[in-house]
Amino acid sequence: MGSAVGEWGRVILLFLWRLVMGEARQVMDRLTDAVTTHADLNVISELYAEDAVAFTPDEGELHGRDNIVEYWRTMTEALPEATFQPLHSYEVGDTAIDEGIFSGRNTGPLQLPNGETLPPTQKEIRIRGVDIATVKDGRIVDYRLYFDEMDFLGQLGLLPDEPF
C-alpha cells in the first residue's frame, strides 16, 4: 500500500507542477522535444508565431516562421537522433531559458550558411548551449540560440588542423 501512496503522490506533484508551470516553459519544453526526441517539423512550426524572429550563431537573424522551421529542418536532418540534456531551466514571466548539452551523431547532410551541403561525417558532437524563448499567446515570438559554432564544426572535423 505504501508504494501506491507514493505513486499517487508523484502523480499529484506532477499535476501541480503542470498547473504552476507557465506557458513559456511548456512551449520551450515542447520545442526541445520536437527538435530532439521526435524531430517533428509540424510541431516546430506550430510553436512559432508567423512573424517570429530568431537569432542563431550560424545563420544570424532569421525572420518569420518559415525561415526558422527551415533552420530546424537542416539541423534535424544533419543530426536526426540528437538529444538535449538540460543543466538549468528557468522561466521568468513570458520567457523560458534552458542551458544544456546538445549531443548527436552527424548521419545526415549538413547545410552550411553559404548554401554548401556537406555529406555526413558520422562523427559525434556534444556541445553546450543556451536557448531563450519569449512566448506570446502560446507561440514563440523571439528565440535566441547560443552555442560555440567553432566547437561544433571542430567536433565534426570540418576545421583545418593548423591554426589560421
pLDDT digits (tens, 9 = 90+) for 6-53: 677 666 666 655 555 799 999 999 999 999 988 899 999 999 999 999
Q: What is the mean pLDDT of residues 123-131?
A: 98
CATH number of 22-155: 3.10.450.50
Task: List C-alpha distances in Å: 146 to 109, 121, 122.
Answer: 22, 23, 24
For the chain, the domains span 22-155
pTM: predicted TM-score of the whole model, two decimal places: 0.83
Q: By three-state DSSP, how is residue 66 classified?
A: helix
Query: How much is the pLDDT for 162?
Result: 66
Instruction: Answer for the pair 77, 68: CB distance below 8 angstroms, yes or no.
Output: no
93: alpha, beta or left, given left = phi > 0 and alpha = psi -120 to 50? left
